[in-house]
Structure 1
Amino acid sequence: MIKAMDRWLLPWLKDSLRRPKDPITDVMLAVCDHFEPFHHTDQAGALRRMEKWQASLPKIMATGVDHDGQTPRHTFFYPVEQYDREVIQALTELCVSTRNEAEIHLHHDKDTAENFCASIERGKDDLRGHGLLGSDAAGAPVFGFIHGNWALDDSDPGGHGCGVRGELAMLKQAGCYADLTMPSAPHRTQAPIVNRLYYSRSTLDGCSHHHGTRVTALDGSTRALREKPDHLLLVQGPLMLDWERRKWGVLPRVENSDLGPANPPTVRRLKHWRNARISVQGAEGWCFIKLHTHGAPEKNHPSVIGDARRQFHEELLQLAAREGFRLHYVSARELVNILHAAEDGHGGGDAGVWRDHLYAPPPCLTQI
C-alpha cells in the first residue's frame, strides 16, 4: 500500500485519539544521522565529505544555545561494517570540536546470529579505540543502534537486509541502551507501533519490535523491564499525516521526521513533531523528538549543514523564548538518559539536569 500506510495509519489514528493534552514544558531534540561517508564513493571521497562536515558543522553549532547553554546536537550512527581508521579519526575530531557523539549503525544481509554478534563486538572495539561510545556505571561501553535498511529483527517483508531473528536480545546483551531505527515509513519495514517509547521482548519469530510495553513513570513496571536481558528500549521519531502539505492539493503528505534534500527542518515541522507528544507515560510534560537523516551524501547537506538548518535553529530558539518551553539539544545518549530519568520519577522539573543519568559521555569528550 502507498507509503506503507496499511502498517501504520490505523495505529496512528488510535494514538492521536489517546494523545495527552498536558502542557509541554521541556522539548528534547535529537538528530540521529545514518552517517555513511562511503555511500557511492571511495576513501578519498569519504575524507572529502568529512572535510566538508568539519568546515560546516561548527557553523550550525554557532547558531545559539538551548536552555542549558548547549549548542545543537548531531549524533552520528556510523556503519561499523565500513570501518576505516582515517575516516573514523576524522569523525572523532569532528565530535570533539563540536561536542557531538557517535553510535553504531550496521548493514547486513542473510546473516547469522554468530556473525551479527561478532560484527557488533568488532564495531564496539573499533569505535571505542577512538574514544567513542558512552559507558555504564561499571565503565563498560554502551551504544545506541540503528539498523541498516530499516530491517531490524528481520522485519523486511521481502527477506532483505538482515536474516537474523532475536536481534533485540543480542543487542541488549552487547550493551545497546536503545534502538532508534523507527520510523521507516514509507518503507515496508515500518512497525505497527508509532510515536512511542517502549520496551520490546526479543523473540525468535522476528519483528519483535512490532509489540511492546510503553515506558511508564514511577510505578516500576517498566523499570523492571529495563533490567531484563531479553527486553530492549525502542525510541521512535514522529510519524503522522501532514494536512498542511498536500499532494495535488488534495492528499496529505507523510511527515516521517526525515531531514532529506526536499525536507529541511523548519519550525512549522517542529510544531508537528511536538504534537506527536512522544513521551514517557505519566511524565507527558517532557516531549522527545528524534529526527533522522542520511547526512553524509552531498545531496543532503543543505538540510543538515546548510542555511536551512541554521535558519531552523535561529527560529526554534525564538519560538522557545516566545512560548516559554525549555529547549534541550540532546545526543541520542542524552535523550535516553532523560527518558530514564522520567521513568525513574524525575519528570516534574528541568529535564536538562539528567543528561548523564545512567550512561556517561564517551571518553573523547571527557578526556580533554
Structure 2
Amino acid sequence: MIQPIVIALLVVAAMGAALGLVAWLAIRSRNMQVWLGSYLRRRRHPPVKGPIHVMFCFVDHYEPAWGRVDLETQRRRVDRWHRDYPAMASQHRDADGRPPQHTFFYPEEEYLPEHLDKLAELCANGYGEIEIHLHHDNDTPDNFRATIARFNELLHARHGALSRDPRTGQLRFGFIHGNWSLDNSRADGRWCGLNNELILLRELGCYADFTLPSAPSETQTRTINAIYYATDDPHGPKSHDTGTRVKVGGEASGDLMIVQGPLGLDWKRRRKGIMPRIENADVRHSCPPTPERVDAWIRTGIHVEGRPEWIFVKIHTHGTQERDMDTLLGAPAHAMHAHLERAYNDGERYVLHYVTARETYNIIKAAEAGLDGNPSRYRDYELPPPPGAARWASPAMPHAQRADALAGVPDME
C-alpha cells in the first residue's frame, strides 16, 4: 500500500511538472527562449562618477499607408503629425535647449512626395530627421542595391534628407527593417530573402541598424541591450544574432553596427496576473510611456563599453496608426517628456539629451574614440546634419568634425 506521504510527493511533483510545462509553453509562445538566457545572465553596470548623460532617441516605423488605406486617410495621418507634433514637442526641452527629436524611418515602398514634403518641413523646423525603412520579400541582391540606392538619392535630392560622408561623399543612412526580418531572420524566410543583407547595407552606406528589439517576434536576437558590430555570414540568416560590443578605444569591426533598445521583463504588468509582460520599448496606446517604463529604460543602461556614464535609450513606435496617435501626440507623450525632464535632467545626477538616430550613431562613435565630457559636442562628430535638417549649435562648436574632436576641444559642461 502506497504511503500518504508518497502520494503527496507524487501530487506535488505532478503539479510542479504541469506548472513547468505551462511556463515553458508560455515562454515558447512569446519566443522568449531566444533571449531569456541573455537577460538572466545580464551583468551589473559599473559604478559611475559624476552625472549620467541620457541620450533619448525615438525612432518611428512611419507608415502612412499602413493597412492599405486610401490616399485621403494617408493624408489625414501625415497632416496630424505635421500639425500636432510641433505643438507637443515645442513645450519640452533637454539640457541643451532642444525639443524632443523624432526620427522618421520612411518606407521606400510607400513613397509619395507630398508625405515626405511635410515630414521634411518638420525636420527643417528642428523636430527630427528622416531615415530609411523597407518592407520586402523574396528579394535579390541586385534589386535591393538598386532600390536602396535610388531611394537614397531621391530622399536627399528632393527632400533634403540623409547625410553625405565628408570623407567619401557617399550618402549615409540609418535603417529599420520592415516586419523585423533583418538579414532573413524569420525561420520561414519570409519578408526578406537576403542572407547577405548586412554586407549589402554596409556597401550602400548604412551607418547602423535600429530595428531591434523585435520581441516577441522570432526575429529577436540572442544579444540584447547592447550596441555592437555584427559580421555577416552570407551563407546563413540572422548573422546579427551575436557580435562584438562597441567599446572605448575599439575600432569598427564586422559589417554593420546594431543599436538596440531596451528589452526585459515587466513584473508589474503581468499577463493574467502571473506571467510578466515583455518590455520591448514599444510605445503605443496599449503600452503607453508611463514613468515606470521610462525608469526601466534608464535602468537598462545601454552604453558603449567603458563609457557607462553615457547611456542610450532608443524606443520605437508605428506612428501613423490612428489608435496610437493620441498617445504619441497627446497627454501620454507630454507626461513622458515631463518625467524625463524632471527626473533625468537635474544637471548633477543626470543630464538629458534628445537625439536623432544619426546623432546617436555619432555620439557612439565619439565614445568609441575615447572622447568624454558632454556628449552633445559630438552630435555631428562623424556625419554632418542632412541638408534639409535644422542646424543646431552644439555647446562646444557649430559643427564638430571628426579631426577637430580628436584634436581635443575644451569641455563645456
Q: Please confirm whether the aligned pair reaches a TM-score higher than 0.5, indicating the same fold.
A: yes
Q: Which position in structure 2 is the counterpart of 1:206?
A: 237
Contact 1:33–1:75 (Cα < 8 Å) also in 2: yes
Distance 1:276 1:367 in 2: 31
Residue 31 of structure 2 aligns to a residue in which SS? helix
Check whether the contact 1:31–1:290 (CA below 8 A) recurs between aligned residues: yes
Pairing 1:112-151 to 2, within 5 Å after superposition: 112-129=140-157, 130-138=159-167, 139-151=169-181
Report the Cα distance in structure 1 between the residues aligned to 2:48 and 2:326, rounded to whole angstroms.
Answer: 35
The one-letter code matched in structure 2 to 1:100 is: G
Q: Which residue of 1 aligns with 2:39?
A: 12
Give 1:168's aligned residue. Answer: 198
- Cα deviation for residue 135 of structure 1 reads 2.3
Equivalent of residue 362 in structure 2, options 333, 337, 360: 337
Aligned residues: 359
Q: Give the alignment's TM-score, normalised by structure 2.
A: 0.84
Whole-Å Cα distance in 1 between the matches of residues 231 and 303 of structure 2? 20
Give the SS at the match of 1:153. helix
Measure, in 1, the Cα distance between the counterparts of 2:382 and 2:331.
35
RMSD: 1.6
Residue 311 of structure 1 corresponds to which residue in structure 2? Answer: 335
**Residue identity (%):** 42
What's the offset of the Cα at 1:262? 1.0
Partner of 2:102: 74
- Aligned residue in 1 for 2:48: 22
Q: Verify the 8 A CA contact 2:294 2:336 in the aligned structure 1.
A: no
Q: Matches of residues 267-278 of structure 1 in structure 2 within 5 Å?
A: 267-278=291-302
1:284-315 CA deviation, whole Å, 9 max, x = no partner? Answer: 11100100100011111122111110121112
- Higher relative contact order, structure no. (Cα contacts within 8 Å, ≥ 6 residues apart): 1
How far off its partner does 1:327 sit? 0.3
Which one-letter code corresponds to 1:319 in the other structure? A
Matches for 1:1-368 after TM superposition, within 5 Å:
1-15=28-42, 17-22=43-48, 25-40=52-67, 41-129=69-157, 130-138=159-167, 139-204=169-234, 205-218=236-249, 220=250, 223-225=251-253, 231-322=255-346, 324-347=349-372, 349-365=373-389
Q: TM-score when scaled to structure 1?
A: 0.94
Quote the offset at 1:187 in angstroms: 0.8
Structure 2 distance, partners of 1:329, 1:87, is: 24
Q: Which amino acid aligns with 2:178?
A: G
Deviation (angstroms), 1:140: 2.7
CA distance in 2, matches of 1:367, 1:246: 44
- Provide the secondary structure at the position in 1 that maps to 2:46: coil
TM superposition shift of 1:248: 2.5
Task: Work out whether residues 183 and 196 of structure 2, in 8 Å CA contact, stay in contact via their aligned partners in 1.
Answer: yes
The one-letter amino acid paired with 1:105 is H
- 2: distance between equivalents of 1:6 and 1:134? 39
Largest Rg, 1 or 2: 2
- The AA in structure 2 aligned to 1:5 is M
